[in-house]
Amino acid sequence: MELSLSLYQSSSLSLFRRNSDHLIGATRIRQMPIFLRRPMSGQSTVLAPIVAKKKSEIEGLSEEMNSIASQNLDFAPARRWVRSAFSDVQQKLDHVLFKTAPPGIRTEEWYEQNSRGLEIFCKSWLPKEGVPIKGDICFCHGYGDTCTFFFEGIAKRIAASGYGVYAMDYPGFGLSEGLHGYIANFDELVDDVIEQYRNIKGRPELNGLPRFILGQSMGGAVTLKVHLKQPDEWDGIVLVAPMCKAAYNVIAYSDQMRLKTAVELLKATKDVESQVEKVSSPLLVLHGAADKVTDPLVSKFLYEKASSKDKTLKLYEEGFHSILEGEPDDRILKVLDDIISWLDSRCALK
């Protein structure tokens, strides 16, 4: 008997009934869970569900914590609950970003409803009381990432060097509202980022200070498109393993990606590639030379083609994709020191 496959998540069945076109775009590129369309003799096509494979347990966690970790994270309330449950675990991780976190950093978390009616999570890290702020850095996270896990440690180290660091979770990512990992329109996401960071610019502690934008992986594409829409808004761009040119491995992530998201990422990289000569702000590009997710040769392409008069490319031998959190301690600290030194030298010119 011939079987045809319809891939979608069982939790989205009601959404399928309302808008099948939207659901197809929101489908993750994977085959679990799946529904088999089984033509029956004398009957119309029916759906026969196959139960998704249970997530593997995380070694070292209790049964209760593994149960929490296995939750469906498609919607923001579940993601917020899991983040709250794991906050203590995160801070106790045997990782240089948490073990050496500088004391006294002032943090603030808040939600704002944007012009599209979506609840956006934001967070800031400021130097300890009495330390003047040199400039502000706005962060654009990568695919499958948030601004509240490893970036927490990264932001504290940058803030300890005298910077105000600001971050947001995109709609559908982290703690912000929206279907998990779903990008219906990349340009809309970019506009969401512009809107949020325009609001942050108005904060009194940042009046007249240099502004920088930092993007990692997919956040590199977000950052470049923000800059292309606001060429005079930023005093510098920092890109870490940026996704900025279409490549064969553009969707080679360990996380499963939704079909529409993959299409939007391909469109975004092609758009950035076609406009790379318009990148004009001071530019720092950092990349692991052995990265298998985003191509370091693409960073070299960006460096060579950008019209910026002030531009720097740093390649880290034996470094892979996550050079800010997934490398040996000395390499992570070296990359952070390189970023802070570059920021310091640009602020000194103001």
Q: List, for residues 317-328, the tens digit of each pLDDT value.
A: 999 999 999 999
Q: What is the pLDDT of residue 60?
A: 67
Band (254; pLDDT cuts 50, 70, 90): very low
Radius of gyration of the chain (CA): 21
Domains and CATH numbers, the chain: 4-49 (no CATH), 93-347 (3.40.50.1820)
- The arithmetic mean of pLDDT across residues 224-236, rounded, is 97
Q: Tokens standing for 292? A: 């298998």
d(CA 33, CA 240): 34
Q: Indicate the range of 237-241, 244-248, 266-270, 276-280 predicted with least confidence.
A: 244-248
Pairing of strands 46-49, 119-126: unpaired
The alpha carbon of 273 is separated from its chain's Cα centroid by a whole number of angstroms, namely 20
Query: pTM of the full predicted structure?
Result: 0.82
String of b and e for 24-63 (b: at least 16 CB within 10 Å)?
ebbbbeeeebbbeeeeeeeeeeeeeeeeeeeeeeeeeeee
Angle of CA points 286, 170, 258, to nearest 5°? 90
Could you tell me the end-to-end alpha-carbon distance of the chain, in angstroms, rounded to an integer?
A: 72
The residue among 174, 218, 178 whose CA lies nearest residue 86 is 174
By CB atoms closer than 10 A (0-12, 13-18, 19+), residue 15 is: middle
Average of per-residue pLDDT values in the chain: 84
pLDDT greater than 80 at residue 194: yes
Q: Which residue has the tokens 């009601």?
A: 14
220 and 245 Cβ atoms separated by less than 8 Å: no
By CB atoms closer than 10 A (0-12, 13-18, 19+), residue 338 is: middle
Dihedral over Cα of 261, 263, 266, 271: its sign: negative
Is there a cis peptide before residue 33, judged by omega within 30 degrees of 0?
yes
Tell me the per-residue pLDDT of 100-136, one tens digit each, with 9 for 90 and over: 999 999 999 999 999 999 999 999 999 999 999 999 9
Phi, psi (rounded to 5 degrees) for 66: -65, -35
Q: What is the pLDDT of residue 257?
A: 82
Tell me the per-residue pLDDT of 266-313, one tens digit each, with 9 for 90 and over: 999 999 999 999 999 999 999 999 999 999 999 999 999 999 999 999
Compute how many other C-beta atoms are within 10 angstroms of the C-beta atom of residue 316. Answer: 20
d(CA 259, CA 61): 32
d(CA 239, CA 214): 6
Q: Tokens standing for 315? A: 């390649």
pLDDT greater than 80 at residue 198: yes
